[in-house]
Amino acid sequence: MQDALDENQKVGMTAGQRSRETETTRSTGLPLGYAPVPGTFDEMVDASGKVRAHWQALAEALQARPPLENQERFARAERYLRDAGIFHRDYGESGGPQRLWPLSPFPVLLPQGEWQGIAEGLSERADLLERVIADLYGENRLVAEGLLPPMAVAGNPEFLRPLVGIRPASGHFLHFLAFDVARGEDGRFRVLADRTQAPSGAGFTLENRVATTRAFSGLFDRSAVHRLAPFFARFRDTLQSNQHGQDERVGVLTPGRANATYFEHAYLARYLGFTLLEGEDLVVIDGELMVRTISGPKPVSVLWRRLASAAADPLELEEGSLSGTPGLLEAVRAGSVTMINALGSGILETGIISAHLPAIAERLNGKPLSLAAFPVLFGEMEADEDDCTMALGPAFATLPPFERNSGFKPTERRTVRDKPRAVLRAAPGLSLGPALQSGRLVPRPMILRFYAARTAEGWTIMPGGFARLGAGEQPGIFAFHEGGQSADLSIVSSETVPDVSLIAASGTKAGHRQGGNLPSRAADNLFWLGRYIERAEGALRILRAFHARLAENGDPDLPLLSMLTRYMATLEVDTAEPVPRMLLANIDSAVYSAGNIRDRFSPDGWMALTDLQKTAHRFAEKVSAGDDAAHAMTILLRKLAGFAGLVHENMYRFMGWRFLTIGRHLERGLHMTTLLAHLAQPDAPDGADDLLLDIGDNVMTHRRHYSVTTSTSSTVELMGLDPYNPRSVLFQLTEIVRSVSQLPDSAEDRLQLHRDIRALEQRLATAPASEVDADSFRQLEKDLEAFSDALALAYLT
Amino acid sequence: MRYDLSLEIGTDYAHPVAHGRHVLRIVPAALPGRQHIETQALTILPEPESRREFTGFFGGAATGFAIRHPHPALHVRLKARVDVNAPKWHSEAAILLQNMTGALAVIRSVAPDMPHHFLAPSPRLPRIDDAIHAYAKESRDAGPDVFSIARSLMQRIHADFRYDARATTVDTPAEQAFQLKRGVCQDFTHIMIAGLRSLGIPAGYVSGYLRTLPPPGKPRLVGADAMHAWVRVWCGAEAGWIEFDPTNRMLASDDHIVAGFGRDYADIAPLAGTVKAYGAQDGYQRVDIAIADPAQNSHSLNI
């Protein structure tokens, strides 16, 4: 086995060297220096060296343009990905660094006729898979008739016993599938793997399409390319029709931000108008699955699950799963929720089941599947003479060879008769397709991922998909962090296809349903995003004032400055650091909170926020105290205002907005209150009043309203009690009252909360300026903290 | 033998818990010919907002419930009158270990009692531990039949391991208890299951109860003050399942009341639950079993 592996690597190396020579020495007459590998099926170029018919328009358009323009076009695609913030983490690398999505902006094309054949084959296969899983969790006739060995089921870690005997609420186990399909050395497409658990990539498929379209806009006629939107529209409509009643909803269940494809979960939820949910958002009440929202529990009847089955319920499935919902199985048993796909559907991905599918198909359908799969061999099965290279791996592994950590290694074996817990899976030679690398097209082994969605009329196959291109000429490595790339897969029709976008396809209701059904966790993240952003702004303003004065005096021990240092120390901000660590921590926390609710953010808002974060961290490495720091704070304040402005201009004014707003005003109110409690004292050092006005951006206003010299009382009035000053404490209270009064308020603790904040506002609004002093602000500080706790208890937990 | 069984099981929380969701698997199983439940009453305090009965894959009765108001403790009480006949084990029909693969291969069912479920890794026994495997191999020569191998392993575990309730918790992995050479019925059961599976013998977990008061002149059995656990071993199609109690070095008898079967503890944990709690939680269990013969009824505790 080890020998075979080494041999393979040697072959790979020779082929790689050969291709490098080719690239540098020979001009091929093909676009961007493309040179097919002789003797291997090439997707773009036929055996005689001519560009295949369905690629011709694209190839000719490229060749007609100056090389510089083409490079400029490809750069557009990458810019789009960056601007849209499209990242991923590698599989098995939860919590690892995010990487920019590796797109080869040159699309892979497939003629409609060929796709049609694949699509029909996949529909047939999807139907078979449905029958198999219904049997595995039902009657088990396949085992009784000897079509599956009992071990394939009873020894299968993906067989989830608590689900046995439960008929899915929708009547079907499978609703959304992916298939990895590849063209072997013989030129025939065959299925490499079934992805039935929670297939990923559909969202990236959309983004690949958008990015690729950017690169090729106006370059060639795309009217013959099948659109992706109708597929998603039909899937969405089907999910919505699975709902039991009017007010019920569809959710996308994600394991959370540490997951490899969290970006995609958020993206799809936003694109389809579904709520992005995590396990802790959900609660089961009397057999019904509910989202914990700010208006109390609201039913969910369809859950598109991107979480592995076993993790879905820590009570009855995997003990100790932190991403699941205790009691979810009770809801499934009660038939109150449709899972997309049914829990336990991962069993269809295991090699030991795949190995038996051909025989099952022949028995159930009376004929072989029209689209064959690459062989998977178990037990007594034996490879045919002409079968391709095989790989040996565990019988219950869910990933096929070529996938990272799949556990498969190339082998000379033709059977696993002597290894009861192993399977052989094909690791075939693959056709090569064009991948764009450093401005040149190079041939790379290709795997296509197709998607199937269940509709009322049966399966519909996405007319397009997701191509993965290997890291080298030999198939083996497709992992993105090891040099693998993705590309848009476009299906080219011989005629113009109708233009449909998802937004036009059906209703505009999506935005209006959000509102009161805002999950408490999302509200909590919005609230804290508001607080952290404002906390950062508060610190920035003080630090700017501090460093501006330091630049003038050069003496950090000046009474006013040492007082600021002491004040900042209470906020754990160290003024000795030009860009204090606590400031960075606040910005990081804001990004973290925003990252938990990516589905609620426009790409622009997200970009502005991460830009602020990057800049702040960069400054932290090089900025020095005094003038330099003051200038840096000004830049950061401007970037922060940019983010706030984007949110203010673009965010839909509903429940989510209110929590963000309450968070911001609460933090600003607290900040100003604390500052006044410290500085508005008779024994405050010289310049304290001016400093306060400076921090509050109120120097000009003060000059207009009061005499030129400042006094403590005029400062307190302007910064504390002025109802028109957007930085005064009273202004914050008024804004909080306005937002709170629009929150749902059925429960008594909530009504009390509303009364309390109104009372606080009234107290400050009617207090005579002469009676307001540092003590009043100290009391107010406590009251605001208490309000924050009460708000969290009433709405956010 | 008729028993009056009473179980108290629960948790005291350091701070009141707002929400709790649990599954109970404590009610004795109905096993035709062996075990008959005459009466049973299950009380949960505080009163749950929702409660549902269902049957687990391996046939045990389960009760799922949710408490959605703050509560400082959870108390569960079970009272049952159970009629138990001593099970008859057909050890003479046990197959030879060398015939196990063939015996498994002819089976065409994945019904809950089928041996294949009990050969593969399971939640609490996810891999074959080399040390346990090496230990189990020493019992292979006691064969060649599966029953004799299992009996030898049971006897050795009983001799080599010390009963020590403080050495382990419900979450201690089998390999750790094996290293310690100490533990309670759950640990001995897991070790024996792991050892048998490593030899290719299907073995599962039985959760249940053991009579508290010994017959006159007999010693009190170990592990009777809490729920008990022992091992079931598949000895071939004809002999079927035979139950071994490694804690007491005996085959299951009419001293043993079955609550349910599983692959390991995780399938049949008496009280599983998730709560949002701060601070410590103290779980407790009290079991009392009395002969339901009027003459001896004075031993029964009224709870």
Query: Do A216 and A181 belong together in one domain?
Result: yes
**Band of the pLDDT at A563, cuts 50, 70, 90?**
confident
Residue of B25, B54, B104, B110 to mutate when probing chain A, most A C-beta within 10 A: B110
pLDDT at residue A260 above 90?
A: no
A3 found inside a domain: no
pLDDT recorded at residue A162: 95
Torsion of CA B249, B252, B254, B255, to 10 degrees: 40
**Band of the pLDDT at A90, cuts 50, 70, 90?**
low
A26 found inside a domain: no
pLDDT recorded at residue A501: 52
Interface of chain A toward chain B, CB-CB under 8 angstroms: 140, 143-146, 149-151, 153-157, 161-162, 164, 283-287, 314-316, 318-319, 326-327, 330, 333
A423 found inside a domain: yes
pLDDT recorded at residue A133: 98
Domains, chain B = 2-84+268-298 (2.60.40.2250), 91-264 (3.10.620.30)
How far apart CA A480 and CA A783 sit, in angstroms, is 52
* B272·A145 Cβ contact <8 A: no
pLDDT tens-digit readout, A458-502: 999 999 999 999 988 777 777 777 778 999 999 998 776 665 554
> For the CA atoms of chain B, what is the radius of gyration?
19
- B58 chain-A contacts, CB cut-off 8 A: 161
Query: Do A605 and A721 belong together in one domain?
Result: no
- A149 chain-B contacts, CB cut-off 8 A: 105
Highest mean pLDDT of the ranges A4-18, A399-413, B55-69, B146-160? B146-160
* A287·B68 Cβ contact <8 A: no
- B116 chain-A contacts, CB cut-off 8 A: 150-151, 153-155
Query: Do A626 and A530 belong together in one domain?
Result: yes
Q: Torsions phi, psi of A264, nearest 5?
A: -65, -40
Q: What is the pLDDT along chain B (303 residues), one digit of tens a residue?
A: 899 999 999 999 988 888 899 999 999 999 999 999 999 999 999 999 999 999 999 988 999 999 988 899 999 999 999 999 999 999 999 999 999 999 999 999 999 999 999 999 999 999 999 999 999 999 999 989 999 999 999 999 999 999 988 888 888 999 999 999 999 999 999 999 999 999 999 999 999 998 866 767 776 666 667 899 999 999 999 999 999 999 999 999 999 999 999 999 999 999 998 877 777 778 888 898 888 765 444 443 333
Domain boundary among A454, A487, A511: A511
Query: Do A306 and A422 belong together in one domain?
Result: yes
Using CB atoms, which residue from B104, B110, B123 is nearest to A140?
Answer: B110
Query: Do A367 and A440 belong together in one domain?
Result: yes
Using CB atoms, which residue from B116, B266, B272 is nearest to A155?
Answer: B116
Query: Do A647 and A712 belong together in one domain?
Result: no
- B110 chain-A contacts, CB cut-off 8 A: 140, 143, 150, 153-154
Using CB atoms, which residue from B49, B56, B266 is nearest to A319?
Answer: B266
* A150·B109 Cβ contact <8 A: yes
Highest mean pLDDT of the ranges A690-699, A763-772, B211-220? A763-772
Query: Do A498 and A533 belong together in one domain?
Result: no
Query: Do A564 and A490 belong together in one domain?
Result: no
Nearest-CA neighbor of A223 among A57, A339, A77, A379?
A: A57
Query: Do A612 and A719 belong together in one domain?
Result: no
The ipTM is 0.92
Place of tokens 């009392």: B288
Ranges of H-type helices in B66-184: 100-105, 130-137, 146-160, 174-180
pLDDT at residue A551 above 80?
A: yes
Weakest-pLDDT range from A31-45, A161-175, A281-295, A511-525: A511-525
A18 found inside a domain: no
* B52·A287 Cβ contact <8 A: yes
pLDDT at residue A115 above 90?
A: yes
How far apart CA B207 and CA A70 sit, in angstroms, is 71
Nearest-CA neighbor of A421 among A397, A402, A387?
A: A397
How far apart CA B4 and CA A97 sit, in angstroms, is 60
* B64·A330 Cβ contact <8 A: yes
Print the domain residue range for A740: 652-797
Min Cα separation A161/chain B (Å): 6
How far apart CA A63 and CA A67 sit, in angstroms, is 8
How far apart CA A540 and CA A542 sit, in angstroms, is 6
Domain boundary among A459, A485, A511: A511
pLDDT recorded at residue B215: 67
Neighbours of A569 (CB within 10 A): 11
Contact status, residue A276 vs residue A252, Cβ threshold 8 Å:
yes
Number of domains making up chain A: 3
pLDDT tens-digit readout, A267-279: 898 888 888 999 9
A657 found inside a domain: yes
Query: Do A670 and A629 belong together in one domain?
Result: no
Query: Do A215 and A132 belong together in one domain?
Result: yes
- B119 chain-A contacts, CB cut-off 8 A: 151, 154-155
A30 found inside a domain: no
**Coil, helix or strand at residue B189:** helix
pLDDT at residue A201 above 50?
A: yes
Taking the alpha carbons at both ends of chain A, their separation in whole angstroms is 55
Average pLDDT, chain A: 86
Domain boundary among A511, A533, A557: A511
Nearest-CA neighbor of A527 among A457, A449, A597?
A: A597
Ranges of H-type helices in B34-145: 100-105, 130-137
Query: Do A188 and A279 belong together in one domain?
Result: yes
List all residues 6 or more positions away from A615 whose beta carbon is below 8 Å from its beta carbon. Answer: A635, A636, A639
Nearest-CA neighbor of A664 among A534, A479, A509?
A: A534
Position with higher pLDDT, A536 vs A246: A536
A566 found inside a domain: yes
pLDDT at residue A329 above 90?
A: yes
> Is residue B117 less than 8 Å (CB to CB) from chain A?
yes
pLDDT tens-digit readout, A56-87: 888 888 888 888 888 888 888 888 888 777 77
A25 found inside a domain: no
Segment A362-388 mean pLDDT:
90
Cα–Cα–Cα angle for B226, B230, B232, nearest 5°? 155
**Alpha-carbon distance values, A264 to A276, A574, A599 (Å):** 11, 39, 9
